[in-house]
């Protein structure tokens, strides 16, 4: 599939992004041929590893660009008391609410939840984890990472941790926008708080159904420099290669990164 020659604008997401198709394409543990979903499995392992780092806990976690998914919160929810989930498109937020309210027709996350419970040492706690998660997600809000206050007109109190997975590279048309978006979302974190990122590298598109969405081509150094420029010190950074031949996207690696927000008084 060819990459789109033009940037996929926010309006295109709002108009035509189909959360159910997206979930089916990317978030089952194995595909229709029974092959394991290595991208998802590696992401779950990376998130588990990052949220096991010392000091990565607190009262509030904000998830920026949550999409219709919960996989990114499964390890995080053990370390924070409340979670705010933010996304641009109405249909993604609705889809997420469907799961949170345990409505009929919601996506079945239980295989993914069981897998994460296994990583944590007890697969049998999956139902408890689902219940815990539903209690902890307090709000699902609209956000736009290109705005100085991404949740405008709502102002959020500074959070202990900000999580963003596979969001900014889809939302930003160039490196300058990416750097500015990181500053915007970085401002949602209190000094000493953490930023946790999962970002695809060297990707120009991803596709599912009959749709193709653009992706900002990023190198590891682009992301690390933007994180530092947004006022954070990188604590953990790891790149994992993504095997070629995936028709859904042309990314060739995934970056997991944890950074701590500097105190304004410390240079």
Extract the tokens encoding 226: 């933007």
Note the maximum CA span of the chain.
55
Residue whose structure tokens are 């609705």: 94
Measured distance CA(165)–CA(5) in Å, rounded = 24
SS3 content of the chain, % helix, strand, coil (to 5): 35, 25, 40
Residue whose structure tokens are 């997401």: 13
As a whole number of Å, the end-to-end CA separation of the chain is 47
Is residue 27 marked as binding? Answer: yes
Is residue 122 marked as binding? Answer: no
Of 186, 133, 182, 137, nearest to 162 (Cα)?
186
Residue whose structure tokens are 């993914």: 112
State how far Cα 71 lies from the chain centre.
9
Is residue 144 marked as binding? Answer: yes
Is residue 92 marked as binding? Answer: yes
State how far Cα 146 lies from the chain centre.
16
Is residue 160 marked as binding? Answer: no
Is residue 132 marked as binding? Answer: no
Q: Per the annotation, where are the binding residues?
A: 22, 27, 71, 87, 92, 144-145
Binding-site residues for S-adenosyl-L-methionine, in ranges, read 22, 27, 71, 87, 92, 144-145
């Amino acid at each position: 599939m060819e990459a789109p020659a033009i940037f996929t604008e926010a309006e295109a997401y709002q108009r035509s992004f189909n959360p159910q198709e997206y979930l089916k394409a990317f978030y089952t543990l194995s595909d229709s041929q029974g092959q394991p979903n290595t991208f998802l499995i590696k992401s779950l392992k990376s998130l588990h590893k990052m949220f096991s780092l010392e000091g990565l806990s607190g009262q509030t976690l904000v998830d920026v660009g949550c999409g219709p998914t919960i996989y990114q919160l499964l390890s995080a929810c053990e370390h924070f008391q409340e979670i705010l989930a933010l996304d641009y498109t109405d249909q993604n937020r609705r889809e997420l609410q469907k799961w949170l309210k345990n409505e009929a027709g919601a996506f079945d996350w239980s295989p993914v939840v069981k897998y994460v419970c296994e990583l944590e040492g007890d697969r049998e706690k999956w139902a408890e984890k689902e219940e815990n998660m539903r209690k902890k997600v307090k709000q699902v809000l609209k956000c736009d990472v290109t705005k100085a206050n991404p949740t405008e007109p709502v102002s959020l109190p500074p959070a202990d941790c900000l999580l963003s997975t596979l969001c900014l590279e889809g939302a930003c048309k160039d490196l300058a926008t990416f750097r500015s978006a990181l500053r915007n979302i970085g401002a949602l974190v209190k000094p000493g708080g953490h930023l946790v990122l999962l970002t695809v590298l060297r990707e120009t598109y991803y596709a599912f159904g009959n749709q193709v969405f653009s992706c900002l081509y990023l190198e590891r150094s682009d992301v690390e420099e933007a994180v530092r420029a947004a006022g954070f010190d990188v604590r953990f950074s790891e790149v994992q290669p993504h095997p070629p031949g995936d028709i859904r996207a042309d990314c060739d690696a995934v970056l997991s990164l944890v950074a701590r927000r500097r105190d304004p008084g410390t240079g």
